[in-house]
Each structure stands twice: as structure tokens, then as C-alpha cells.
Chains A and B, each alone.
Chain A
């Protein structure tokens, strides 16, 4: 059964509103896009026990990283007979597996025709295409990403770039050929910064029976804008009817930029970084009145700030998350200050809730043809520095 990706709406140049539908064992899982795949560490959404995770109702998909599991091969969890959803208690969610950690793509080369190198808790390990597909056929995720030969050189030779594209395509063919029914394969687009190779990678991948595409701009370009510009030749040669996932775009501006370039799916490693740093999201795409838009506002607040020590307000007024309905900034500040683990539980609950809400607002704004307007307001209210603001907003709106 093939996943169904319906484009519900395309408008304003590259904007896309989509719906990914997966039917498995008579159960239907739906993910409206643009959307996020919740980042996991060793198969759990960091800091959140399952009851706390389920208090964030808009999460529909989980991104599981294989390299967290494979310091020993085969991973012990492949002995579990009921698949990865049940093992990780993600039966309600669409489970998506990739070999590398989108939040920690350590530079690592040493790939050969036979294997890719990955970075586990106990050091570097190799994964072959055969073993990877074998694990996937045991785990039975909804979607997995085929192996990719990432280039880590700053300035690789054309020969190296071509080899990367060829290897990645070969591994994709392996995956599509050997995958058992039940899982869908996403192909990865490579080509480094070479336009022709990026186009070739996109066109060749698109010819194959993939369910979607992964673009990894994390190692390319120093700014998000540069990253997206490098990925653009790939994006331009993709068929419209399949979802596109980008790693490494995390800030609200990044997400808006990615959405405006036709990206459907994003990872949430940024949310974890902000949470671990003691920050709470307070940005919003839904800017209520003009007064708001003339006062430049904070996107995040740091709960380490001593000014919050007696602040009896919730992290964000009006927020419906567990943390905001039950706790104060003063308490979260105290928990950080005393190094108590509940600090990151409450911050993660809020930040992930808020991030899913942000995506929902994005989808609604596209649906109502308000995206450009909302983005313009967003940049006016939140962006640092006039130059950056002008730069980013003009690019999004041009």
C-alpha cells in the first residue's frame, strides 16, 4: 500500500499544503503538511514520558535515529518481535527512521561502496546497505530513509560528488528492491554544491519508486538562506506530488523560509537545543494587532534570567500546554536554578506544544492565503537587525 500524498493546495509560488496518509493494518494515519517530525534520542522524545508526550495532541510523526541504537549489531531491539512502533510505544504515530541524527550530523566520511559510517554512543560504527534494510524489515517503520553517502569535504572534487550521487542512488535501489511490504522509502538528494549533480540526483531519485525526498542542507552553506539556495536546484527538479523533508532548518525564520520554498517536513532538533538551554518559545505567527507589530518582540525567553524568579505568570500567557496551565515562570526558573530535571520536562512540553501550534498556524495561513502577510508581520515583529529582516522577508515574499 503506497502512502498517499495529496497536495491540497498550492499557491503563492512554491507554497504547498499537503496531506500524507498512510494505511497500515486497516489503520489510517494522517499528517497534514507543512509539519514536523518529532526528534528523538535513543528512541524517546527527550525529557517526555509517554503521558507527557500525549499531552501534545498535534504531534503526528516521530523521527527515530538508527545510529543511537547500533553500537551493537544487530541491535538487540531487532529481537523484539512486534516492530519498532510497539517497542518504542509509538503505535499512535507515524514512525520515520533515518540512519543519521538530524540534530548531530557530525562530520564523518569514510564511507565505502559497502557501508556508511555512523556515530554511536560508543564510537564510530559501519552500517552496510544489506544490514540496514534487514533492520528496517524487522522494525517495520512507516517510512525509512535510504542510506546516503554524505560528503564532508569543504571543496570536494567533481569525481567525489559524482560518486556520492551514484552510491546514494545504488543504495536507494537496494532499499526499494529489498524492502518488504509495509514500509515506504524516502530517497536522499545529494550533489553537494554542484548544480548539475544536484539536478541529476533529484531527477534520478524522482524516477524511482520513492515515497518522498530528504534534503540535507545542514553541512552546506553557512546561513539558512545559503543552505536553501544550494538545495534549490534539487527542489526545482522534484515532482510536486511527493513530500520533501529538510534537516537543519529549525528557527521560526528557517521554517518560514523552508515553507516558502516548498518544503513539507522539518525536524525538531532545534526545539531540544532551546529546551536544554533553558529557553521557552514565545513567538507567534498569529500577530493580533498593529500595536504588536510595531514593538519588536522576543521569540524566546531564557528562564535562567533572574528577573523571572518571582514571575507568577505562565511561560506564555494563554498557552494551552500542560506547563502553562499548571506552572509559573518563577517555578521553572527555580527548577533550572536547582538543576532539577522537571525544568526540561516542563520546557520541552511547552516548546514542542508551541512548535506544533506554529506549524498549524502556518498551514492555516496558507489555506487562507494569508501566509505572505503573516510572514511579513512576523519579520517586522521579531527579526533582529533591519538588514537581516529586509533580506529574509524580501526573499520570502519576492
Chain B
């Protein structure tokens, strides 16, 4: 199908499957691998779009389900789409809305027609179909839009997984047919198939035939064993076409980003860095700091030495301790730092791949984050071993 993006791979790791690309979208270039912060309701948790630009953010997420409720499809269309609405001139990605229905609404029911759910407003039964999801996402106008897929928990087994996979393929076809703006919005397919490699293979075969501009690995990050998670990711990156971006949905922990990049993933999103900030947690290469703790009351160091974000250049941990979870400014400052941390991590990953030093970067990263080798998560050790990095040697 028609595509409104180009992916230019500019470097490949000689050891792992990691790669660096320039993904050019309608609102400018995106350096991959990329972490995309989540601005659910058309705003990234207290940050201005100017601050996001200054942090170097090239693409963020909005959630279709939330924007569809407020301000609603009609208004967002009237106001010129989501870019204009929030004054964000860089790239946006929207999800299909289906995941929120299944995760937020208890009474969601999935039929061939779509996802049935009870309206949070008046309790009436509503239906999100692939066509409706496309219509909403066309109104919002993000640079990348996602197909409606049949989401099952990654812990589900049996025929339901197969049914969901086949239905996701059928829904992809309906999405392709209903998509009105392929010249300015890139529709990504979502690979389903649970933890079953045969189902994943079948799904990839069918979806690749549809030739969508990019592919997402779906149905993960739902509580499955990490040792199974990485195998699915690894399997999918092996099978998916090399000339298109691969997006692993819902991934955002630092070690996951490093491992999945080694496995060949290009794009990630997660609410974690911004959500944890609002609970007073700051991310650093040595792990998370809970700045609410009184042990920071007289700590006059920045959150992270050497970090060049506004927060670290300006304030001490003691200052942020006074504000964390008490003043909105405390949230803003930690959010700025955490987004900065995530984007810098991705930048470091890219730099290491370009310099073909990625394996030693990975070694250093794990050592700093976990301290001793005895503390390395075994799944990460296994995953990296599969792409020729021996963490424990």
C-alpha cells in the first residue's frame, strides 16, 4: 500500500541485529531506534511543546481513545487535527483505541464487527470498528496510525489466540480499505499470534503481503515471562522486512530498550518514564531515585551528574525533594529529566551502533545499571547471547 515515510538505514551493528536509521515522516525526520514519550490527551504531562522540542523529541504519542472522548472527533477535526490543536509541529503517532478499551473498560466484548464497550459517559453500548478507528485517526491526523487489532492477553492460550491473530488480519484489511489519508498518514500493521511462533509466522506472512509502511509487534508486555517476550521479539525482527520500521509497543524500561534494540527493533513507546516521574521517581543510569525519600533532603547534587537537562543544570535533589509529588513544578522537573534520560539513552545507543561499539556499550550499560553480574536479569543475558553478546563472560 501507499506509504508516507522513508526509512534510511545508516548504520548496522556488526555483532547484533541493531541498526540506526533515519525515518522520515510527514512532520520531519526521526532518528531510530527511537523512544516515543506518551502524551495521552494531546499533552505530555505538564511539559510545553517548546520544552519537548528543546529535549530533542521528534515524535510523541497521542491516544485515540482519549482524544475521541475529549475533545471528541468533531472538535478535533474542526480545530485542525491534533498537531495544530496542541501546537506540536513534529511527528505524532496514535494507537487504534482498541487497547484502551480492553485494558480500561471491564465490559469490553470483541466480535467480528469490532470492540463493543460501554460508554464511560452514559453506560450505553458502543462499538469501535476498524472503520471507526481509522476515521478517528484520520481526524486526529497523526503521522503514524495503528490498525485496530484483536488484543488478547499474552497469558491467554488455546484457540482464542489463533482467532485473534486471524481476526487482526481481517481487521487490517478493513483498516486499509477505510484509511482515507495514506498520502499523509502511515498505517502500521500489528503482528499478533501470542507466544506461538507458528501463529506469529502466519501473521507476519499475511501482513507483509499487505505491504503496510511499518509493522508493530503486538500482544506483548502483558505480564508474560520476559524470557518468552524477547524470543517473540527476536523471532519477529528476523521475519519482518528489513526495509520497514519495526515498532515494539509498550516497551520503555531502559534495559528493555537496550536489549530490543540489539534484537533489531526501531521504535518504542511507554508511559513509564512520565508516570513514574509523577510519583517522584527520577531515572538515572544507576537506576531510579525516589526523590520523596528524606535521604535526599540535604543532597545538594543534581539528579544525575553530567545530565544536561534543565532540571539537572538548575536544581539539586534537595530542592526537588521539597516539591516531588507536592507541587506541579516537582512533577514537571522530574518529567523533564526522565524524558531527557530516555532520549539520551536512545542517542547513546545510536551513537554506539554508528561507531560499531554497541557490544561494549551494552556491557557498560548493564554494569552501571545493575552493579554486579549476579544481578543481571537472566532473560537479558539470554537475549543478548542470541545476538552474540556474552554479558557474563
Contacts and interface: CB of A to CB of B under 8 A. Distances in A.
A263 interface: no
Given A76-B318, A309-B71, A330-B85, A342 B47 contact: yes
B71 A330 contact: yes
18 contacts: A42-B326, A43-B322, A46-B328, A48-B329, A49-B336, A51-B51, A77-B318, A81-B300, A89-B314, A89-B315, A309-B71, A334-B70, A338-B66, A340-B41, A340-B43, A340-B46, A341-B328, A344-B328
B375 interface: no
Main secondary structure of the interface of B (DSSP, over half): helix
Contacts of A341: 45-46, 328, 331-332
Contacts of B374: none
Nearest to A47: B328
B315 A322 contact: no
Contacts of B328: 46-47, 341, 344-345
B126 interface: no
A45 B330 CA distance: 11
Contacts of A334: 41-42, 70-71, 85
B75 interface: yes
B79 A328 contact: yes
Contact of A331 (B85, B298, B336): B85
Contacts of B300: 79-81
Contacts of A89: 314-315, 319
Contacts of A44: 323, 327, 329
B50 interface: yes
B332 A345 contact: yes
Contact of A327 (B54, B87, B315, B336): B87
Contacts of B49: 326
A312 B45 contact: no
A309 B327 CA distance: 27
Nearest to A327: B87
Nearest to A42: B322
Nearest to A345: B46
B79 A312 contact: yes
B: interface residue count bin: 35 or more
A69 interface: yes
Nearest to A79: B298
A330 B79 contact: yes
A80 B298 CA distance: 8
A342 B300 CA distance: 28
Contacts of B122: none
Nearest to B315: A89
A7 interface: no
A91 to B, nearest CB: 10
B70 A337 contact: yes
B196 interface: no
B154 to A, nearest CB: 30
B327 A46 contact: yes
B293 interface: no
Task: Pick from A44, A72, A326, A330 the residue with the most CB of B within 10 Å.
Answer: A44
Contacts of A121: 326
A156 interface: no
B327 A310 contact: no
B37 to A, nearest CB: 14
Nearest to A89: B314
Interface in A64-114: 69, 72, 76-77, 79-81, 87-89
B368 to A, nearest CB: 28
Task: Pick from A41, A45, A309, A338 the residue with the most CB of B within 10 Å.
Answer: A338
A: interface residue count bin: 35 or more
A76 B327 contact: no
B303 interface: no
Contacts of A310: 75, 78-79
Given A76-B297, A326-B87, A341-B45, A41 B327 contact: yes
A391 B43 CA distance: 46
Contacts of A42: 322-323, 326-327
B332 A49 contact: yes
B86 interface: yes
B316 interface: yes
B197 interface: no
B128 interface: no
Contacts of B349: none
Nearest to B311: A49
Given A45-B329, A76-B298, A326-B87, 8 more contacts: A43-B322, A44-B323, A49-B332, A87-B319, A89-B315, A121-B326, A331-B79, A342-B46
Interface string B68-92: 0011000100110000011100000
B43 A309 contact: no
Contacts of B329: 44-49
B310 interface: yes
B310 A50 contact: yes
A319 interface: no
A52 B75 CA distance: 29
B48 interface: yes
A87 B315 CA distance: 7
Contacts of A30: none
Interface in B27-60: 41-43, 45-51, 54
Interface in B284-338: 297-298, 300, 310, 314-316, 318-319, 322-323, 326-329, 331-333, 336
A49 B333 contact: yes
B48 A322 contact: yes
A49 B310 contact: yes
Nearest to B69: A338
B310 to A, nearest CB: 6
A46 B330 CA distance: 10
A79 B319 CA distance: 12
**Nearest 8 Cβ contacts at the A-B interface:** A341-B46, A76-B297, A44-B329, A76-B298, A338-B41, A342-B43, A340-B43, A326-B87
Nearest to A55: B50
A303 to B, nearest CB: 13
Contacts of A396: none
